[in-house]
């Protein structure tokens, strides 16, 4: 094990699992472009979704609020699109294998995710979840990335040193915060082979 890297911290959506509203709408049988635009506006791109990740709103409340503002023919889809989009989970190909290998090599594996309270329901269904030593989720803390506070919560809760951590996230602003705090940041673009090469190079230096 490289002396100064002891832990790998992962984001969840678009890193460990796929999160694509286009796929969720396909699953729900919503194909009309106008309807998809409405769903995007009222659900996934809405401040309400951010409020769920912030822990200020849960899925039941969101569904109750959203249904009346949707056209009648879309209302019956709200339960799935908001509360069951993760059925089934879409794993990022190759990520479970990478997480398993890093765990077997002795690295601490942690999750830092902007996600709603429902994360506790679907997290155990993610195949690589069993390798994680700890998790911090925004809805539980009422603070979201890229706010430095949530990174500090993770570090302090699990006794981690920022300089001993690699941080992996798909969003530039989240990676930037990790870098400012002294972590080794990596912006994930969906290519697990590239990520693996980055980690191997870093750990072999």
Helix, strand, or coil here: 101?
A: helix
b/e per residue 1-39 (b: at least 16 CB within 10 A): eeeebbbbbbbbbbbbbebebeebbeebebeeeebbebb
Please list the residue range(s) of the chain that carry CATH number 3.40.50.1000. Answer: 7-18+90-204
Q: What percent of the chain has pLDDT over 70?
A: 99
Helix, strand, or coil here: 89?
A: coil
Q: What is the pLDDT of residues 95-123, one digit of tens each?
A: 999 999 999 999 999 999 999 999 999 99
Overall pTM surpassing 0.75 (yes/no): yes
Looking only at Cα atoms, what is the longest distance across the chain? Answer: 59
pLDDT at 62 over 90: yes
**pLDDT on residue 88:** 95
pLDDT at 2 over 70: no
Helix, strand, or coil here: 91?
A: strand
Q: Which residues contact 97 (CB under 8 A, 6 or more apart)?
A: none
Token pair of 42, please? 């009222």
**pLDDT on residue 116:** 98
pLDDT at 205 over 80: no
**pLDDT on residue 203:** 87
Q: What is the pLDDT of residues 128-176, one digit of tens each?
A: 999 999 999 999 999 999 999 999 999 999 999 999 999 999 999 999 9
Instruction: With beta carbons less than 8 A apart as the criterion, state whether 110 and 160 touch.
Output: yes
State the fold for domain 7-18+90-204. Rossmann fold (3.40.50)
Instruction: With beta carbons less than 8 A apart as the criterion, state whether 125 and 89 touch.
Output: yes
Average pLDDT over residues 5-9: 97
Q: pLDDT grade, residue 3 (50/70/90)?
A: low
* 164 C-beta neighbours (distance < 10 Å), count: 18
CA distance 67 to 76: 8
* 171 C-beta neighbours (distance < 10 Å), count: 17
* 201 C-beta neighbours (distance < 10 Å), count: 9
Q: What average pLDDT does the chain have?
A: 96
Residue 137 burial (10 A CB sphere; 0-12, 13-18, 19+)? buried
């Amino acid at each position: 094990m490289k002396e100064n890297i002891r832990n790998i911290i992962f984001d969840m959506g678009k890193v460990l699992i796929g999160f694509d509203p286009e796929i969720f709408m396909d699953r729900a049988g919503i194909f009309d472009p106008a309807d998809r635009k409405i769903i995007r506006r009222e659900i996934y791109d809405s401040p309400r979704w951010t409020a769920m990740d912030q822990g200020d709103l849960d899925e039941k409340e969101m569904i109750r609020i959203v249904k009346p503002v949707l056209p009648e023919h879309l209302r019956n889809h709200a339960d799935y699109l908001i509360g069951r989009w993760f059925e089934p989970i879409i794993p990022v190909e190759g990520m479970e294998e990478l997480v398993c290998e890093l765990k077997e090599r002795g690295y601490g594996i942690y999750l830092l995710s902007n996600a709603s309270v429902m994360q506790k329901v679907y997290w155990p269904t993610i195949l690589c979840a069993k390798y994680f030593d700890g998790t911090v989720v925004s809805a539980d803390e009422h603070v979201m990335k890229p706010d430095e506070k949530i990174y500090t919560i993770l570090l302090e809760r699990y006794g981690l040193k920022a300089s001993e951590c690699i941080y992996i996230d798909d969003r530039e602003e989240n990676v930037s915060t990790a870098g400012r705090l002294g972590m080794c940041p990596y912006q994930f673009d969906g290519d697990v082979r590239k990520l693996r090469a980055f980690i191997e190079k870093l750990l072999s230096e």
